[in-house]
Amino acid sequence: MGHEQGRLLPWVTGDGKPCFLVTDGQGYLSRVADDMERVQLGMAVELLAHADDMLGDYKATGAQLRYLGRRMAESLRDVHRIAVSRGARMAEPVLE
């Protein structure tokens, strides 16, 4: 893999610290992480559709919109972590 810290995983520890996996990308935990990333990205798409609907509904309450905002912030954190992880893996040096 080439990175000292390993792959940034799509979850955090119980106290909110990032988790890393040192692997060649072919093991069981790598597949679990890939599956979790797919689920998180799918949930983000569904949340965006829900947000579009709710933001178009002028009867939505402040409490509903705050709840939506919290879920969107959680989802954005997940998507950002996935982007950082994938970006770090793309930064592999090119061997000449």
Q: How far, CA to CA in Å, does 26 sit from each of 66, 67, 86?
A: 40, 38, 15
What mean pLDDT is predicted for residues 17-22? 92
- Residue range 36-83, pLDDT digits in tens: 999 999 999 999 999 999 999 999 999 999 999 999 999 999 999 999
Mean pLDDT for the chain?
Answer: 89
Render the burial of 43-59: b for 16+ CB within 10 Å, e for the rest: ebeebeeebeeeeeeee
CA 16 to centroid of chain Cα atoms? 14
Band of the pLDDT at 3, cuts 50, 70, 90? very low
Is 0.95 surpassed by the pTM of this model? no
> How many angstroms separate the CA atoms of 50 and 60, rounded?
12
